Structure 1
Amino acid sequence: MAVVPNKQGNGIGTKLLNESLEFYTNELIYIETTTAENCTFYTQNGFTIFHETFELNYPLYFLKYV
């Protein structure tokens, strides 16, 4: 899931995420991202980081939503 850069900041990503969370109500959801900005977005929307690694020469963050 992504929003094209020139449309970011208009609530589109939040709407997409909320629709996904509503569809998967009461399901455990895992996501991964390589950017700190995405971590901020997801944690502000209820996800928690449960693992992060830099073993591949770039950051990789794993988050979950319960």
Structure 2
Amino acid sequence: MSKRRRTARRRHIMPGNKTVEFVCPKCGFKLTSNRPEEIRQLKALKARGVLRCPFCNTKF
């Protein structure tokens, strides 16, 4: 089995798993999570308007 195939298989996201991605409008940093409890926390912070980029401190 080639290295490319193994890498592709390792990165495969199982159907049913949800990944949430927030992108900073200023620096372009992508805050990504696929853990359900973390997704709930990130969405709650964004709804309250307090979710910030860890690098440039800009609101998402």
- Normalised TM-score (structure 2): 0.28
Instruction: Compare CA radii of gyration and give the structure with the larger one.
Output: 2
Q: Which has the higher contact order (CA 8 A, sep 6+)?
A: 1
**Higher strand proportion:** 1
